[in-house]
Structure 1
């Protein structure tokens, strides 16, 4: 919704934001990836126990988080599609961000466990069937390539889908490390390679998990999108003819890829506030892709008490004479 004040001080609204996400397509691709992963995960647990391989069991544990992340993503997509009503004025769009954060935290917790187990195996090596590990890891690589491709077909601008994608992609790298470890154990008898591969997998999990927690945390803290500088946006808004000052500028993300902005804009006494508002909206849409805006427009002649007793945050003033 966009809001402005007309020349008589009355508030006017218009709706000009659009949200186009192919949720049905996302669900289909995610469900296909889930089927591939769940089927192979069961087989891998059995082989990992038979082969005595921590690397395979680590990979299976990672695949369990993969499956959980996809299930969470599917639930979040369904919740996010529900219309806004009642006290949830944005609907349940941030369910996607909760899902992404859960994915990240799960990766970090699993990484801690596998670091512990990996170090323990380095200190007390176990017998490992290298050939069995190697063959299973090769099959795992093929399964993960297929699952990664499926999820890459979904809308990865969603942090929720990106979280599931990062899970699967990291598992692909993990299987490559496990295949190398299996080959080393098989050809040289160096069983510690299995534990080293598990530690490599854990490191990948930490990297992906921290990235998801940090990105979702920014949205929950209502920070501006990572690639958007509010200072630059504020200066751009004051570059529009007729704009004297911009304050109370807030930029945040409702959910991943869906930025919103609100601001109090003071325009020169003789400026056309409707025309200025249209120019501001066009600038925000064209330069920053922001369509969900709330702009309060007032003339500089309006007494301060009638529009804003105190500005919150930095003010941006026009550099033009008389601005």
Structure 2
């Protein structure tokens, strides 16, 4: 059961890595008349897909492990141990390849978690194989599968929640929208702002739109104000695509209108 669970998990990893690679490839496509931002959001969808696949496969493993708790079957402990050791080497090495980019790109993070989870799964299978060889208790097999499955769910939950939030245009976790607002209000020539929106274009790029009330008595021109605000947003918050609507009087957009 442990080896079958590990094999199913590896299959989900192959699919997950394929989705991550495809998303990175699509994200590099130039914008078109129909997709004016390009296909950058595909990296968010890949991260979400990765999390869903991992949870679905883990759920199937849990179901089978529970059935095995009440229906014991003979297990070759030595075979389980040696096959799982090979799995540790392959999965652990692959996970290390994704380690560098895992902290800054959720798509890569999804791939990293997949491979790291596989390495942990394989380690647990090794332990299960050794215990079965020495004790002869086949029930160890499903018990270890349940323990590993629980740890995988805990590790994947943050990826699922984070990718789902990005898919729903939530402000990226590394950006404080309140601080963005305070920073804009502190710029020379800004007398107020409204309709501030910040959302992810991909797992690494962020866009923003805001209406700025221009204080015409400040001596700062509209062009200078936009240039300064854009520079600050890019350098301080990493917002690559800021868009500003500069107003000098009452906004033509009703502040109560949700579509503004």
Q: Determine if the TM-score, normalized by the shorter chain, exceeds 0.5.
A: yes
Q: Secondary structure at the match of 1:190?
A: coil
Q: Is the CA contact (8 Å cut-off) linking 1:106 and 1:209 kept in structure 2?
A: no
Note if 1:267 corresponds to 2:218. no
TM-score by structure 2 length?
0.91
| Structure 2 match to 1:248 | 195
| Structure 2 match to 1:232 | 179
Distance in 2, matches of 1:156 and 1:231, equals 23
Q: Is the CA contact (8 Å cut-off) linking 2:78 and 2:130 kept in structure 1?
A: yes
The Cα of 1:155 is off from its aligned counterpart by: 6.9
| Structure 2 match to 1:220 | 167
| Structure 2 match to 1:296 | 245
Distance 1:73 1:106, change over 3 A: same
Distance in 2, matches of 1:155 and 1:276, equals 36
Note if 1:281 corresponds to 2:223. no
Note if 1:139 corresponds to 2:86. yes
> What pairs up with 1:17-166 in 2 under 5 angstroms?
54-152=1-99, 157-166=104-113
**How many residue pairs get matched?**
256
Q: Is the CA contact (8 Å cut-off) linking 1:167 and 1:208 kept in structure 2?
A: no
Distance in 2, matches of 1:60 and 1:204, equals 17
RMSD: 1.9
The Cα of 1:311 is off from its aligned counterpart by: 5.4
Gaps of 5+ in 2: none
Gaps of 5+ in 1: 1-53, 314-323
Q: Secondary structure at the match of 2:213?
A: strand
Deviation by residue 1:122-150 (Cα, 9 ceiling, x = unmatched): 12221111111111111111111221123
TM-score by structure 1 length?
0.74
Structure showing greater radius of gyration is: 1
Q: Is the CA contact (8 Å cut-off) linking 2:195 and 2:211 kept in structure 1?
A: yes
The Cα of 1:70 is off from its aligned counterpart by: 1.1
Distance in 2, matches of 1:296 and 1:153, equals 38
